Amino acid sequence: MSDPRALVIIPTWNEADHIKTILEEITTQYPNLDVLVVDARSTDGTGPLVEELAQKNFRIKIIYQDNPGKFGEALRMGFDYALRYNYDPVITMDGDQSHSPRYIKDFLKTSEKYDLVIGSRYIDGVRVEGWRFRKLLVSKMANMFVSYILVKPIWDFTSGFRCYRRRFLESIDLNALFNEAYIVQIQLLHLAYQHHFRVKEIPFIYQGTPDAVSKVSKHTRRKTFRYVFKFRAPWWEIIRHLVYLKREYERFVDEYEEFVNPPELKNNGHFEVKDFYDISIGVMAYNEEKNIAHCLQALHNQKVQSGRILEILVISSGSTDRTDEIVEQFQQKDERIRLIRQPKRLGKASAINEFLKLARGDIVVIESADTIAHPGTVEELVKPFKQADIGMVGVHPIPVNDPKRFVGFCVHKLWQLHHHMALQSPKCGEMVAFRNIVSRIPKYTAVDEAAIEAIISKAGLKLAYANDALVSNKGPETLVDFFKQRRRIASGHRHLKALIGYEVTTLKSSKILKMVLKLHRWTPKETFFMMMLMAFEALARFLGMLDFYLRDKNPFIWDISVTTKEVHILDENKIAKNGLSKK
């Protein structure tokens, strides 16, 4: 095998009829694997039989636990042994031949990318042989119950056929593991998700017999029912999970898996710090005929000294207006510009993933087609990457709405708060640059910049805010469009926080309130507008929460607000006049 230090742990209690066969199968099929039998002082001669086999094959080991029926104790002893003697990965399986050794190769292969691999009897259908229908029904319903309480996309929570990576076992307190069989298996799965380890289910066929007697007592089963609630998800998450039962449950599983098992970083997250970078720019567009020419012309005119713009890829996601035609005209005058068509609109995240597959630069820049970059924006975005610990940089958005009207005031105030918050704790939006190590983002996210922030932060890199990297954008012009946008964003951020625990700085209400008080001008008009804005924002966040938890309304594909198009660049005098100073 590729890893000669892998270990198979087999807890046993009166398995003399089966243990010899299973040990011979393992050592024959996998001559480089070591096998550790943890025997609970069996009374049928299991221990002496394994000792005899161990004398003939040094790959077989045996240790004893003092008390039968404590499966968790057996696992603790086996895991301690594995860590002490530097084994990785570690496979656990039953000793009654219900777990066939032929699947071990699948566990070892899958464990190259995942930290906990679960052999599942119920993924992609029922895979159990030899059980009576009643026993099968009870087992299946029990696992469904656990899935509703823990809210994890797992089909078989109680399977003991698993593979653990050493890094996971080292990160948890083995002494805190429960002794009961079902409880400890659920607990270990809970800990894997809690510590953000990668989990994967793979199918196998469970080979039981109709007359087999479970070694798990009725008392333990009842106790498991109660203890499951120790690992429950928040009640809002449980309610949301139940909502999915009436809708797209397969999407729930796919969506959750995508968040908790994010894709591997490009080049394993390695990158080179340079004085001069190749830059790939991706422009995400859907029916942007009013602004796409201004956006591309601004990128064409960029003056960059810290690198060169290698390519400008426009991802047109199902556009039905003149967007594609306009981009094709720009292709003829700038060979760096290339149109990538997506036949169907699948959301901005899908368009970003298409771009990330094609991007060749050291630094990738993502811009929405309804924004306009100022002449030095790309240069200011790239400068911070001379520091090795910087992974992502955000721009300073400048809205072009009329601040004298209520909706315009709201747009300006929110971006003003965004700016001052970002000066303290970087927050990226509208146009972002990051090292080309992100292979893709979750396709169901509605807050793509925040999702990228989460990936970059998890990779151990810092965020930066380029105060002088200016981008003109336009917020909604009508109250209806403004409220729809804030509600959509609130739902998207709730989605990101609930699934991976990442929260952007602008969601921290206490910090926002302090910033509001610091920046507020106490004129009657502005005070009235500010109170109205706070009320609208609170309502939008509340309804966004309901959209996410109760309505299954994750707006990763949203209705376009036509009033946010037709952007223009404000000159420096208007920026200063509107209170949008860069400082």
Over range 454-464, report the average pLDDT.
Answer: 90
Q: Where are the beta strands (DSSP E) in 13-156?
A: 34-39, 60-64, 90-92, 116-120, 128-129
> Could you tell me if residue 379 is left (phi over 0), alpha (psi between -120 and 50 degrees) or otherwise beta?
alpha
Question: How far is it, in rounded angstroms, from Cα 351 to Cα 286?
Answer: 10
Tens of pLDDT, residues 274-293: 999 999 999 999 989 989 99
Tell me, rounded to whole angstroms, the distance of Cα 8 from its chain centroid: 30
Q: What's residue 155's pLDDT?
A: 86
Beta strand pairing call for 431-435 and 363-368: antiparallel
Question: How far is it, in rounded angstroms, from Cα 268 to Cα 88?
Answer: 20
Find all residues with CB under 8 Å of 370, minimum gap 6, and list them. 288, 291, 295, 473, 474, 564, 565, 567
Find all residues with CB under 8 Å of 37, minimum gap 6, and list them. 10, 12, 19, 23, 46, 50, 60, 61, 62, 63, 95
Q: What's residue 522's pLDDT?
A: 82
Is the pLDDT confidence value at 162 over 70? yes
Question: How far is it, in rounded angstroms, from Cα 478 to Cα 129?
Answer: 62
Measured in degrees and rounded to the nearest 5, phi and psi for residue 128 equal -125, 130
Over range 552-561, report the average pLDDT.
Answer: 54
Collapsed DSSP state (helix, strand, coil) of residue 515: helix
- From 475, 473, 471, select the one nearest 410 (Cα to Cα): 475
Distances (CA, A) of 420 to 27, 379, 435, 515, 518: 64, 22, 24, 8, 10
Find all residues with CB under 8 Å of 90, minimum gap 6, and list them. 6, 7, 8, 9, 78, 79, 82, 163, 164, 165, 166, 169
Q: What's residue 576's pLDDT?
A: 45
Over range 248-260, report the average pLDDT.
Answer: 65
Residue 477, both tokens: 């012009």
- From 533, 284, 526, 579, select the one nearest 419 (Cα to Cα): 579
Tens of pLDDT, residues 524-549: 988 999 899 999 889 988 888 887 77
Are 284 and 348 in contact by the 8 Å Cβ rule? The answer is yes
Question: How far is it, in rounded angstroms, from Cα 427 to Cα 446?
Answer: 16
- ∠109-440-470 over CA atoms, to 5°? 155
Q: What's residue 583's pLDDT?
A: 43
Find all residues with CB under 8 Å of 431, minimum gap 6, and list them. 365, 366, 367, 368, 371, 373, 377, 381, 394, 395, 397, 469, 471
Percent pLDDT > 70 in the chain is: 85
- Global pTM reads 0.69
Q: What's residue 579's pLDDT?
A: 44
Q: What's residue 129's pLDDT?
A: 80
Domains contained in the chain, CATH given: 7-233 (3.90.550.10), 266-577 (3.90.550.10)
Tens of pLDDT, residues 371-386: 999 999 999 999 999 9
Cα torsion through 245, 246, 247, 253, rounded to 10: 0
Q: Where are the beta strands (DSSP E) in 214-265?
A: none
Question: How far is it, in rounded angstroms, from Cα 198 to Cα 219?
Answer: 32
Residue 72, both tokens: 């968790």
- Which residues share a beta bridge with 434? 364, 392
Is the pLDDT confidence value at 347 over 60? yes
Mean pLDDT across the chain, nearest whole number?
A: 84
Q: What's residue 3's pLDDT?
A: 47
Q: Name the band, by pLDDT with cuts 50, 70 and 90, for residue 27.
A: very high
Q: What's residue 490's pLDDT?
A: 82
Distances (CA, A) of 346 to 143, 285, 349, 363, 512: 33, 12, 8, 25, 33
Is the pLDDT confidence value at 354 over 70? yes
Q: What's residue 1's pLDDT?
A: 40
- From 238, 233, 140, select the one nearest 193 (Cα to Cα): 233
Is the pLDDT confidence value at 79 over 70? yes
Residue 535, both tokens: 């009320």
Radius of gyration of the chain (CA): 29
CB-neighbour burial class of residue 528 (10 A; exposed 0-12, middle 13-18, buried 19+): exposed
Q: Please, where are the H alpha helices in 160-217?
A: 166-171, 181-194
Is the pLDDT confidence value at 357 over 90? yes
